[in-house]
Chains A and B, each alone.
Chain A
Amino acid sequence: GAGVSQTPSNKVTEKGKYVELRCDPISGHTALYWYRQSLGQGPEFLIYFQGTGAADDSGLPNDRFFAVRPEGSVSTLKIQRTERGDSAVYLCASSAQPTGTSFNEQFFGPGTRLTVL
């Protein structure tokens, strides 16, 4: 079956511009996560959705970053007034509805490489 998909695969923008990054989770997965991976580092958590609502947005670095998931499926990460420090690979992951005490693994997309000039 189809995995997590992310578009675009690469995005180059200029400092100060607005960008949107899209994530299509695995069909039926209720949880969706955004992470950011800078060069030479592990992924860093940004925000997590359960259905349409943000269950945890503690990782968003500042108010320039915002994410939505209006219908509980596709999600968009929005970055306003981009800065050079925002350059990174933005990863999206999804997981199935948790049951009991099990923890369902997160399946990751290929990422969007954002470069801010």
Chain B
Amino acid sequence: AQSVAQPEDQVNVAEGNPLTVKCTYSVSGNPYLFWYVQYPNRGLQFLLKYITGDNLVKGSYGFEAEFNKSQTSFHLKKPSALVSDSALYFCAVTPGYSSASKIIFGSGTRLSIRP
């Protein structure tokens, strides 16, 4: 069965410092991986995706994620955090044999950036 684990319920970072939000996955075959962000009272917003190719994927708002097949991880990173990055972040996966299918989401990590 496919699954996603986000081991941290909350991550606290000072503004200007680098941030990492962790994600590991379990899926048969080659995965498609995603990060979404959810701001209060707003819908889920797509940040970035890994389909194939370069293991380092760049996305919106200066975020990037690194796909590590041997560790089955897809951690979200940003070199310098902003207070406005505070939100709920979801890692998600789908098996890479279909071009359109359901996405399996993790339980979410709340990112809090202090000024």
Contacts and interface: CB of A to CB of B under 8 A. Distances in A.
A54 to B, nearest CB: 12
A41 B100 contact: no
Contact of B100 (A3, A50, A110): A50
Interface in A60-117: 91, 93, 95, 98-111
B99 A43 contact: no
Given A43-B90, A48-B101, A98-B99, A105 B107 contact: no
Contacts of B102: 33, 45, 48, 56, 58-59
Interface string B91-102: 010101011111
Nearest to B90: A42
Q: Which of A55, A98, A105, A107 has the most CB of B within 10 A?
A: A105
Category for how many chain B residues contact A: 20 to 34
B43 A91 contact: yes
A4 interface: yes
A41 B46 CA distance: 17
Contacts of A3: 43
A101 B52 CA distance: 10
Contacts of B44: 43, 91, 93, 108
A101 B98 CA distance: 8
B105 interface: yes
Contacts of A59: 102
Contacts of B98: 103
Contact of B94 (A44, A102, A103): A103
A64 to B, nearest CB: 20
Given A42-B108, A45-B104, A108-B44, A103 B90 contact: no
A105 B34 contact: yes
Contacts of A4: 43
